[in-house]
Amino acid sequence: MWVGTPDAPRILVAYAWLNEGQLRYMTIDNDPYQSTDEMVAEAFDNLATSHAGFELIEADGGRMLLSAGLSFSSEQVLCRPHMKIAHDKLDTDEILVSIPRRGLMFACAADAEDSVKKSMAKLHQESVAESATDPSRITNEIIVMEDGIKSGSLDIRDLLAVASKDVCR
């Protein structure tokens, strides 16, 4: 399900679970076995116990992080302790995070070299293109994070243009 427009989709957080290899989403047609508060608490507990980890990769003279492999690697963007690890690994207070599709996350320092930002933007676009007809596609939004919490966002086209750090606010 998309929120926004095809050119500017927005992130929608939904409660889902894996059932026999299929991702199932909670809808109003489901008879919830828990209250909404209980489901949200359980979802965050699950995220906190299933860290995907980060792989540090060299990118055009700088560093970038990759988190992939687990079904919910991209959803870890909602887990503050996990995202604080990204800040620590990149040794910065502000990071740019890409979650182009389920199971995939890229991150770099907000003040990284322009070449690193461009590399991340290109990887993001390639991932979106590969999943264009796949429901695993998430967003073209780049999430700006401080202290493990979303502090802003920018469109992938802005990152490709490699504007100054001030655009990230």
Neighbours of 47 (CB within 10 A): 19
3-state secondary structure of 108: strand
pLDDT by residue (tens digit) across 121-154?
888 888 877 766 666 777 778 999 999 999 988 8
35-55: per-residue pLDDT in tens? Answer: 777 777 777 777 777 766 788
What is the CB neighbour count within 10 angstroms for residue 22? 7
Note whether 17 and 24 are within 8 A (CB): yes
The pLDDT tens digits for 60-97 are 778 999 988 766 677 788 888 889 999 999 999 999 99
Length of the chain counted residue by residue: 169
Pick left, alpha or beta for residue 48 (phi over 0 → left; psi -120 to 50 → alpha; otherwise beta).
alpha
Q: What is the pLDDT of residue 169?
A: 41
DSSP state of 137: B
Q: What is the CA radius of gyration of the chain?
A: 16
- pTM of this structure: 0.75
Is 136 within 8 Å of 75 (Cβ atoms)? no
